[in-house]
């Protein structure tokens, strides 16, 4: 993104020990500040859109450190006690900004404590790199192992999604809530929420899903294992539903639940998330079933008999909205003649018996598909390279 490529790895050699941050980024040619923000990034246009504060939320600050009066002086690399005073996500304050040389290096300190598991985990949140105050690039912080993604889609009177993601049934589950009213009332309201026992209708109040028969005695926001699995309010707090702009709620939220399996005998997939007006636990307000997210696969095929000798396909695969799209290209017959390739606005008139070049004329296909109105000049310059048969290594 924005010509910056690579990875940043957060690791903890032993439980309870300091965090090690390994930065390995190409394309950093200025001073960049870096910080972790509350919400997961979803691929939605360029950095200015996908990494904006309205997309990824505020600085991740679960202990509300940034509220202190003299925050800017107490959280700066020159203050020896900064690791106690900085917000969890304030990497610039703790470690200084990134530049072309520190973009390939290790950051650690005996007092560098950034939770990578548990209720205050940075997992499922977003690392943003800023040039001044402008977001330059951002990336979702995710485990190195692939995750299963599930979703509950709400339609009315509350619409939107709750995404649940987990590596396996013993790891933390990240939850992303984007719920809003479908009418245009200026409302904002808190709801209790739970996952119901059983999967049937939303009308009847039910007990929260509780396969381990937890009695809830020691259940708290810090002790999810002592809570009924379905008791989301006790584990995570209530959720706020508000208005949305372009499908993005003003009160999006992200949580980490240490006891919410998506696989195995206690899986919540197939169960129902229910919202209750606070103080009215008998009356479900809205509900939606939790379902596995299936990969999206799109393909464009070329037949050499009708496409001027060019055969093969482009295949685009996206595992979930949190994953980048992988493009597999397999073409024959280009004869070193091809120049650019683009996605155009309209479908080709395939029913008419045109030749390849006739049906690909601009009069049918329109301009290049550019839904976010991105200035092409701001994209990294093109390079040429090899397209191996298996392009996964690209
Ligand atoms: Cu074109």
- The model's pLDDT over 10-34, given as tens digits with 9 standing for 90+, comes to 999 888 899 999 999 999 999 999 9
Q: Is the pLDDT of residue 384 over 50?
A: yes
CATH number at residue 100: 2.60.40.200
Do residues 303 and 281 both lie within one domain? Answer: no
For the ranges 147-161, 230-244, 311-325, 339-353, the lowest mean pLDDT is seen at: 339-353
- The model's pLDDT over 74-109, given as tens digits with 9 standing for 90+, comes to 999 898 899 999 999 999 999 999 999 999 999 999
Distance 351 CA to ligand 1 centre (A): 21
* CB burial readout 123-161, b (16+ within 10 A) else e: bbbbbbbbeeeebbbbbbbbbeeebbbbbbebeeebbbb
- List CB contacts of 94: < 8 A, sequence separation 6 or more: 75, 77, 82, 83, 86, 109, 112
SS3 state of residue 341: coil
Query: Are the beta carbons of 286 and 202 closer than 8 angstroms?
Result: yes
Structure confidence at residue 380 (pLDDT): 64
Distance 266 CA to ligand 1 centre (A): 50
Of 292, 317, 343, which residue is a domain's last? 292
Do residues 127 and 188 both lie within one domain? Answer: no
Distance 347 CA to ligand 1 centre (A): 13
**Cα 100–132–33 angle (5° rounding)?**
50
Do residues 262 and 306 both lie within one domain? Answer: no
Q: Is the pLDDT of residue 378 over 90?
A: no
Do residues 269 and 302 both lie within one domain? Answer: no
Do residues 249 and 115 both lie within one domain? Answer: no
Q: Is the pLDDT of residue 391 over 60?
A: no
Do residues 326 and 285 both lie within one domain? Answer: no
Structure confidence at residue 164 (pLDDT): 98
Distance 296 CA to ligand 1 centre (A): 24
Structure confidence at residue 309 (pLDDT): 87
Distance 219 CA to ligand 1 centre (A): 58
Distance 340 CA to ligand 1 centre (A): 7
Distance 368 CA to ligand 1 centre (A): 6
Of 236, 261, 292, which residue is a domain's last? 292
> If you average pLDDT over every residue of the chain, what do you get?
89
Q: Is the pLDDT of residue 289 over 60?
A: yes
Q: Is the pLDDT of residue 269 over 90?
A: yes
Q: Is the pLDDT of residue 53 over 80?
A: yes
Distance 30 CA to ligand 1 centre (A): 33
First and final C-alpha spacing in the chain = 15
Write out the two tokens for 106: 């290790």
Distance 171 CA to ligand 1 centre (A): 45
Range of the domain at 99: 5-140
Confidence of residue 376 (pLDDT cuts 50, 70, 90): confident
Query: Are the beta carbons of 124 and 40 closer than 8 angstroms?
Result: yes
Do residues 183 and 63 both lie within one domain? Answer: no
CA distance 220 to 202: 26
Distance 259 CA to ligand 1 centre (A): 49
Structure confidence at residue 26 (pLDDT): 93
Distance 343 CA to ligand 1 centre (A): 7
Do residues 58 and 119 both lie within one domain? Answer: yes
SS3 state of residue 393: helix
Structure confidence at residue 182 (pLDDT): 85
Q: Indicate the number of domains in the chain.
A: 3
Q: Minimal CA–CA distance to 262: which of 346, 172, 201, 198?
A: 172
Alpha helix locations (H) across the chain? Answer: 47-50, 53-56, 71-74, 82-85, 91-95, 232-236, 356-359, 362-365
Q: Please state the rounded mean pLDDT for residues 253-273.
A: 96
Q: What is the DSSP string of 60-87?
A: --TT-GGGSTTHHHHSSTT-TTHHHHS-
Do residues 156 and 285 both lie within one domain? Answer: yes
Do residues 118 and 11 both lie within one domain? Answer: yes
Do residues 309 and 379 both lie within one domain? Answer: yes
Count of C-beta atoms within a 10 Å radius of residue 105:
12
Q: Please state the rounded mean pLDDT for residues 139-149.
A: 95
Distance 5 CA to ligand 1 centre (A): 26
CA distance 238 to 229: 15
Sheet with 284-292, side-by-side order of all strands: 239-241, 189-195, 272-277, 284-292, 148-154, 158-166, 173-181, 253-257
Do residues 117 and 32 both lie within one domain? Answer: yes
Structure confidence at residue 394 (pLDDT): 29
Write out the two tokens for 259: 């006891």
Of 268, 292, 316, which residue is a domain's last? 292
């Amino acid at each position: 993104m924005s010509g910056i490529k690579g990875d940043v790895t957060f690791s903890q050699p032993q439980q309870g020990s300091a965090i090690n941050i390994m930065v390995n980024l190409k394309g950093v040619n200025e001073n960049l500040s870096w910080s972790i923000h509350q919400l997961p990034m979803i691929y939605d246009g360029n950095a200015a859109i996908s990494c904006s504060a309205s997309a990824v939320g505020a600085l991740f600050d679960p202990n509300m450190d940034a509220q202190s009066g003299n925050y800017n002086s107490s959280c700066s690399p020159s203050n020896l006690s900064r690791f106690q005073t900085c917000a969890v996500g304030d990497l610039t304050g703790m470690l200084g900004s990134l530049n072309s040389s520190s973009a390939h290096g290790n950051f650690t300190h005996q007092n560098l404590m950034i939770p990578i598991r548990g209720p205050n985990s940075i997992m499922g949140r977003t690392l943003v790199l800023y040039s001044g105050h402008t977001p330059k690039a951002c990336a979702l912080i995710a485990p190195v192992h692939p995750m299963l993604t599930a979703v509950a889609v709400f339609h009315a009177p509350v619409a939107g999604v709750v995404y649940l993601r987990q590596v396996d049934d013993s790891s933390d589950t990240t939850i992303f809530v984007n719920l809003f009213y479908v009418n245009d009332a200026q409302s904002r309201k808190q709801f209790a929420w739970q996952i119901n026992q059983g999967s049937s209708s939303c009308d009847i109040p039910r007990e929260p899903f509780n396969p381990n028969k937890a009695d809830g005695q020691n259940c708290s926001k810090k002790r999810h294992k002592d809570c009924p699995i379905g008791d989301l309010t006790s584990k995570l707090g209530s959720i706020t539903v508000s208005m949305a702009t372009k499908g993005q709620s003003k009160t999006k939220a992200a949580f980490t639940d240490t006891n919410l399996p998506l696989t195995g005998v206690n899986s919540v997939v197939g169960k129902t998330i229910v919202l209750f007006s606070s103080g009215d636990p008998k009356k479900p307000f809205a509900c939606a079933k939790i379902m596995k997210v299936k990969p999206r696969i799109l393909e464009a095929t070329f037949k050499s008999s009708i496409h001027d000798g060019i055969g093969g396909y482009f295949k685009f695969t996206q595992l979930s909205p949190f994953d980048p799209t992988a493009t597999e290209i397999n073409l024959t017959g280009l004869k070193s003649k091809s120049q650019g390739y683009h996605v155009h606005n309209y479908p080709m008139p395939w029913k008419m018996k045109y030749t390849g070049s006739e049906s690909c004329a601009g009069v049918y296909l329109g301009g290049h598909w550019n839904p976010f109105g991105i200035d092409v000049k701001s994209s990294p310059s093109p390079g040429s390279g090899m397209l191996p048969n298996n392009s996964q290594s690209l």
